[in-house]
Each structure stands twice: as C-alpha cells, then as structure tokens.
Amino acid sequence: MEISLTMANLTQHLDLAIGNVTLLSLTPKELSCRYICDTHFVSTDYTNENKNRLNKHAVPTQYIEIGNFHDTTPTNVYKKVCVKSPIQLEMVTKSGSPNVYVLTPNKIPPSTSNLSTVGSTSSTPVLTPTTRKFIEESLVPIKLHPKKLFGGDKISKLKFVLEQKKSKLTTTNNIVDSLQYPSKDSKVLVKMQTLRAKLSRKPFTKAEQNFALSLFYKSPSTYKFLRNNKKITLPGMSTIRRWIDCVEGYEDLGPKGRTNKLAGQAMVFMIRGLYSLWKMPICYFLPATSVKNCILSELLVEVIKRLLDCGFHVKAVICDQGTNNVAALKLLKVTKDKPFFEVNERRIYSIFDTPHLFKNLRNHLKKSNFIFECKEVSFQDLR
C-alpha cells in the first residue's frame, strides 16, 4: 500500500529518510528535541558555502559508510538516471511480521536511447577500483618527514667559507694591532677604516664613540666634510644626535645610567696636587638623592682607573664622614688597621676631611663627656 507524503506524515518520512526507524515511536514533541547532523545533506541543500542554513525544500538522505560499499565493477551499462529525493513511501505487510517501510524513488519514464537496459538493478552503490583506491588513500594519515633545506655538500661548503672569513678577520686584526700608532685615537681611526664595512650594523665601541664625538665637537662642518666628501668611515649624523640628545636636569650617574627623576644634588670628583697648589674638577654626577654606597664605590674605582690611565699618581682619597661615604669605604674593605684599598695593584689611602673631623669632635663633646688620662672632660670646661 502506498502512502502519499503529506504534512501529517512529514516527520515519519524524515525518520525513514535518515535510516533511523526507532524514531517512529516518538511523539512529535519528543521529535522536536532531536536534530539531524549534516552528513544527511548534500552541498546543494545549503544556501551558502558556510553550510549554516538549509534550503526550503531540502530533504535528508541516509548516510552510508564507505566500508559498506562493494568493490565490484559493473558489467552492464546503466541508464542515465537523475537522482531525486524520494517523495513516496511504500508499506509492505506480511502476516506475522511487523510493517516494513521501503523508500521508492520517482518512476522514470522510458526514454529512447541507444544504451542497453539492465535486467537486474543493484541496491548497493558501486565503486570503481580507481575511486576506491583514492578514498582509501585519503583515509590513511600522512606521515610528516623533516625537509632538508640544504644538502650535506652545501652545508660543508658554507662552513668552509665561514672558517676562511674568520681566519681572514683574525689575521687582519693581528696586523692592525701589530702596527705602531702615534696615539690611541689614530689607532681607533685606522680600525674603523679597515675592520668596519660600509653600512655595518655592528655597534660602535666606546673608543670609537669618544673619537667621533670629540671630532664633531671640534668642528661639525669638518666632520660632515670628512664623512660625505672624503668617504671616511664615521658614525652617521643620526647616531651622533642620538648620543648627544639628552636633557640636563634629570638624574645622571654616567656609566650607571640616567632616570626620569629630577636631579636634587651634584656630586663632583676633584683632583689636587700634593706638592703644588693646583686643583681641577674632573667629573660630576647629578643624583636625585644621596648616591647609594654600592654605586659610589664603583664610581670611585672607575675615576681612579681613568686617572691612572692618564698618567696621574693617585695617593689618597679624601671625603667627609657622611653615612654613604663611610659605607662605600667599608665595601672597599677599608678598616682602622688597613686604611687603604688597591686599584690596579696600587695602594690608595683613605683620609677623612680634617675640618669635618673637628666638627664631629665638637658635636660629640657637646652631647657627652670624654675620658682623657683617667679624667673626665666636659664641654662646660671649655666655656
């Protein structure tokens, strides 16, 4: 008996189309909570490429796994049939057996064609060996293998070239260092011309930076003439501006860096002669507050090293009895029994400022009494 597809049995038809007969026993309310996955629809059933919205007349079909296909080759030629969604249901009943629902497609009218007809139709789809091989290969996971960018011969050649370049650079450095120069700046200039290529990204050393800045401060026009016209390797103008582009008035500790804090003090290092009356400030720093003892000790050693390199004979360091000064000298291991520290194997003695010693002696005498030769001395005795 055939049953026409109407709105009353639409839900029943969908259940049969997806191949799940167990859904027939569910009520319409229970069926409204069920969903059909996208494997029961073809690409033409969707309205867009994202496959997130179905057509108005889309009907699900039964999903058949690949393992159920038979690897057979047809021996007869089939008619060209246009596949359409089934619109009729056929119910077959037998005595003593439940109802069996069978889907039947639209009847196709006979057409006049030169193709021979088939006596028997197969209910299972047929795959050709080529199609089956393609499907099986697509299901096998592909093994990833590391790709070699260069062959062994090319890598060995590149290593050999690199060793040659390193050997050549070492030889050039040795030759440049073995030559005699009238000054340190002349040696720096020669190294910049021979060892530094044009448009090099290598950072400039401290000696090269000092030489370039001293030449620029002497005459900016001469600096530009030597670099642009005479093609002498020197830092560019943008590099020079970056080195000198700083705003005074903020905390500046020289080699210890700058901060965005406003400077509140000034610390000056000054040298003076032992046998002649001369003195000269050599450097200054602008701290925001009192300099920490660890930084102060490092700055003191750095200043002494620079003076020794310039040919000065440093004998002693004089400072007041400030808290940070005393703590910095303790870090340099200066004690009462060992009142000196060493820099480049030279003894540098530590001496406190004499006026500051008298000031502290007076302050302590005003606060408390002293014992001198088994007698108590008070500040009241001096009045």
Q: Which of 165, 169, 244, 239 is nearest to 204 (CA)?
A: 239
Q: Are residues 210 and 335 both part of a single domain?
A: no
Q: Are residues 215 and 279 both part of a single domain?
A: no
Q: Are residues 119 and 12 both part of a single domain?
A: yes
Among candidate residues 88, 110, 139, the one where a domain is terminated: 139
State how far the Cα of 222 lies from the Cα of 228, in Å rounded to an integer. Answer: 10
Q: Is the pLDDT of residue 204 over 60?
A: yes
Give tens-digit pLDDT for 111-129.
Answer: 444 444 444 444 555 678 7
Q: What is the average pLDDT across 69-89?
A: 49
User: pTM of this prediction?
Assistant: 0.43
Q: What is the average pLDDT across 37-41?
A: 76
For the ranges 91-105, 167-181, 266-280, the lowest mean pLDDT is seen at 91-105
Q: Are residues 78 and 6 both part of a single domain?
A: yes
Q: Are residues 134 and 162 both part of a single domain?
A: no
Question: Across 43-57, 64-78, 149-163, 227-241, which has the greatest mean pLDDT?
Answer: 227-241
Helix (H, G, I), strand (E, B) or coil at 155: helix
**365 sits in which H/E element:** helix 354-367
27: Cα within 13 Å, side-chain hemisphere: 2
Specify which residues 18 forms β-bridges with. Answer: none
State how far the Cα of 372 lies from the Cα of 345, in Å rounded to an integer. Answer: 40
In a domain, 148, yes or no: no
Q: Are residues 8 and 108 both part of a single domain?
A: yes
Q: Are residues 181 and 299 both part of a single domain?
A: no
Q: Are residues 97 and 196 both part of a single domain?
A: no
Q: Are residues 230 and 277 both part of a single domain?
A: no
For residue 12, the model assigns a pLDDT of 54
Q: What is the DSSP string of 189-214?
A: HHHHHHT--TT--PPPPHHHHHHHHH
What pLDDT band is residue 11 in, cutting at 50, 70 and 90? low
Q: Is the pLDDT of residue 2 over 80?
A: no
Q: Are residues 121 and 37 both part of a single domain?
A: yes
How many domains is the chain built from? Answer: 3
By residue count, the chain amounts to 383
Among candidate residues 113, 139, 165, the one where a domain is terminated: 139
Query: Which tokens go with 234?
Result: 């020197």
Q: Which domain holds residue 338?
A: 268-352
Q: Are residues 190 and 312 both part of a single domain?
A: no
347 or 91, greater pLDDT: 347
Q: Are residues 73 and 170 both part of a single domain?
A: no
Q: Which of 296, 309, 311, 306 is nearest to 350 (CA)?
A: 296
Q: Which of 260, 263, 334, 258 is nearest to 293 (CA)?
A: 334
165: Cα within 13 Å, side-chain hemisphere: 7
193: how many CB neighbours lie within 10 A of its CB?
A: 12
